[in-house]
Chains A and B, each alone.
Chain A
Amino acid sequence: MGRVEGKVAFVTGAARGQGRSHAVRLAQEGADIIAVDLASQIDSVPYAMATPADLEQTVKEVEALDRRIVATQADVRDYDALKAALDDGVAQLGRLDIVSANAGIFTEGRADELPEQTWQDMIDVNLTGVWHTVKAAIPHLKAGGRGGSIVITSSTAGLAGFENFAHYVSAKHGVVGLMRTLALELAADSIRVNTVHPTSVNTDMIQNQMTYSLFAPDLPEAERTKENLAPRFQGMNALPIPWVEPVDISNAVLFLASDEARYITGVQLPVDAGFSAK
């Protein structure tokens, strides 16, 4: 018997990276999945974002586990589209129990130099997108009458400040405030709300030249390789690793989503290799 057997999980940003990993891990433990992803580019984001083919791959991997999945291309900035996608998923799969507000972007720039649009896109996706996600989900969770678990993906940047991405840090701190408020507003319905705070995760969002430039402004671009950068990433962590894998975040999401965490709410859970203990 799976640890989330028979439950239905809504995962945003599910086309690849952590979102796909969450969908697959929850499906391995018995959940059906409602997956959304923008599966398109945002102009202020310099790395290639997910594609419809990526989202199709997530569908394939969940179906290979004999679980059902309803996948829709939808933008967390567009509340109506997000709500329509979720409503459709719940109509098809019959219930909603778990929400993973995972969709996020990463860009960079010093606070006094960030273009208006770069700031705005970040807040719209990484903060307002999370609010849209839970806003669309809460009526379904309440209607089920069985409680539920909302897991919001924050970051170590939701625990501490970092130079060169004030917009990201602001958004990731913002979701902590949202989590704490939701935990109080939804406790009476036994709906739990928690955040996970990953250190660097081995995905396309950090394995790209823009992020490498933040870690190695002193190196010529040709030398900014994954291998050369690993020790610098590792310098942020206490454990002797440069980054964690998507499945490590999925295992935390799974624990928080499962009934084993039935009385855990309002908690910030770092999966950060000791970053915040340093």
Chain B
Amino acid sequence: MTGRVEGKVAFITGAARGQGRSHAVRLAQEGADIIAVDVCADIPGAPYAGATEEDLAQTVKEVEALDRRIVAMKADVRDFDALKAAVDDGVAQLGRLDIVSANAGISTQMATADQLDEAAWRDMIDINLTGVWHTAKAAIGHLKAGGRGGSIILTSSEAGIRGYQNIAHYVSAKHGVVGLMRTLALELAPDRIRVNSIHPTQVDTPMIQNQATYSLFTGRDDATKDDFAEASSKVIALPIPWVEPVDISNALLWLASDEARYVTGVPLPVDGGNFLL
């Protein structure tokens, strides 16, 4: 049976672990080759360890185990030239580009807007918003050159469609991504390049499974994973505490595939009904 993205090439940022690795593997399962980048470094102020080069190597292993090709490079989405060089190299090796997953993102300092550090604000905007623009900017030339259209999927968040106290920088960046998505959708429609955003609720990855997030959700410094699960499930309508990376990957796969050939400009929540509560 032909895969749902058979023969296509996908560029994924933040691909070393978590959602990014899951996207790479899910798209590869359905026949795509992968261009993977990740900063593979700690982010200053992040309350969890950053991905490593070993993590990225694991993504490579998992994609290759599916008999798909993958070009993986260490690159920082804040550095446009490095990111562009990585995509250019990947396209040179794999021959084309069809799908873009702008997934790389961080969660850092948690404080009310008036207390956020300058550096924390700047890193957040640089990675979670400007990094997404860099990703699209590096990819658009290749998508247009292919002349076959394409699909760009920007990973926003529930925080891209509603406000949350204590993470104004994250909320601002994730809302900004929606504006970028809507504008790109219009700018690229004549070339049949579709642009959509995904809005996950809490996803079971290292970015949220840490003490800072447990405390953010419960208001308690000593909160446990179980406490977080209970608090998180209260903001989700379906009876679950969080979703899994593969749930975001399945939404991304659908948007990337030709089944969604006329879907563009859409913010797609994968949030268990979080938005309704």
Seen from chain A, the residues whose Cβ lies within 8 Å of a Cβ on chain B are 180, 183-184, 187-188, 190, 192, 199, 237-241, 244, 248, 251-252, 254-255, 260-267, 269-278
- B residues less than 8 Å from A272 (CB atoms): 262-263, 265
Whether B276 and A239, one on each chain, are in contact in the complex, defined by CB atoms closer than 8 angstroms, is: no
Size band of the interface chain B makes with A = 35 or more
Q: Complex formed: what's the CA distance from A176 to B269 in Å?
A: 15
A186's closest neighbor in chain B, by CB?
A: B237
Can you offer 10 A-B residue contacts whose CB atoms are under 8 A?
A: A187-B238, A251-B259, A251-B260, A260-B250, A263-B240, A265-B273, A272-B265, A273-B189, A277-B266, A278-B265
Whether A274 and B185, one on each chain, are in contact in the complex, defined by CB atoms closer than 8 angstroms, is: yes
A87 to chain B, nearest CB (A): 27
Q: Complex formed: what's the CA distance from A262 to B247 in Å?
A: 8
- B residues less than 8 Å from A192 (CB atoms): 238
Whether A277 and B185, one on each chain, are in contact in the complex, defined by CB atoms closer than 8 angstroms, is: yes
> Contact partner of A271 among B239, B263, B271, CB < 8 A?
B263
Whether A263 and B185, one on each chain, are in contact in the complex, defined by CB atoms closer than 8 angstroms, is: no
> Contact partner of A274 among B201, B264, B272, CB < 8 A?
B264
Whether B250 and A187, one on each chain, are in contact in the complex, defined by CB atoms closer than 8 angstroms, is: no
- B residues less than 8 Å from A262 (CB atoms): 247
Whether B189 and A239, one on each chain, are in contact in the complex, defined by CB atoms closer than 8 angstroms, is: yes
- A residues less than 8 Å from B271 (CB atoms): 263-264, 266
Contacts between the two chains (Cβ within 8 Å), count: 114
Given contacts A252-B263, A263-B271, contact A278 B190 (CB under 8 A): no
A265 to chain B, nearest CB (A): 4
Given contacts A239-B262, A244-B262, A255-B259, contact A184 B189 (CB under 8 A): no
Given contacts A252-B263, A255-B259, A266-B276, contact A238 B239 (CB under 8 A): no
Whether B268 and A263, one on each chain, are in contact in the complex, defined by CB atoms closer than 8 angstroms, is: no
Given contacts A252-B263, A255-B254, A263-B272, contact A239 B239 (CB under 8 A): no
Residue B40 is within 8 A (CB to CB) of chain A in the complex: no
Whether A264 and B270, one on each chain, are in contact in the complex, defined by CB atoms closer than 8 angstroms, is: yes
> Contact partner of B265 among A190, A254, A265, A277, CB < 8 A?
A277
Whether B273 and A183, one on each chain, are in contact in the complex, defined by CB atoms closer than 8 angstroms, is: yes
Given contacts A274-B185, A278-B186, contact A266 B254 (CB under 8 A): no
Residue B261 is within 8 A (CB to CB) of chain A in the complex: yes
B104 to chain A, nearest CB (A): 22
Whether B239 and A190, one on each chain, are in contact in the complex, defined by CB atoms closer than 8 angstroms, is: yes
- A residues less than 8 Å from B266 (CB atoms): 269-270, 276-277
Q: Complex formed: what's the CA distance from A269 to B254 in Å?
A: 12
Whether A277 and B273, one on each chain, are in contact in the complex, defined by CB atoms closer than 8 angstroms, is: no
Residue B192 is within 8 A (CB to CB) of chain A in the complex: yes
Given contacts A187-B239, A276-B265, contact A238 B276 (CB under 8 A): no
Given contacts A190-B238, A240-B189, A274-B186, contact A263 B270 (CB under 8 A): yes
Residue B78 is within 8 A (CB to CB) of chain A in the complex: no
Q: Complex formed: what's the CA distance from A188 to B273 in Å?
A: 11
Whether A240 and B190, one on each chain, are in contact in the complex, defined by CB atoms closer than 8 angstroms, is: yes
Task: Encode contact with A along B197-239: 1 for CB under 8 Å, 0 otherwise.
Answer: 0000100000000000000000000000000000000000111
Q: Complex formed: what's the CA distance from A173 to B61 in Å?
A: 48
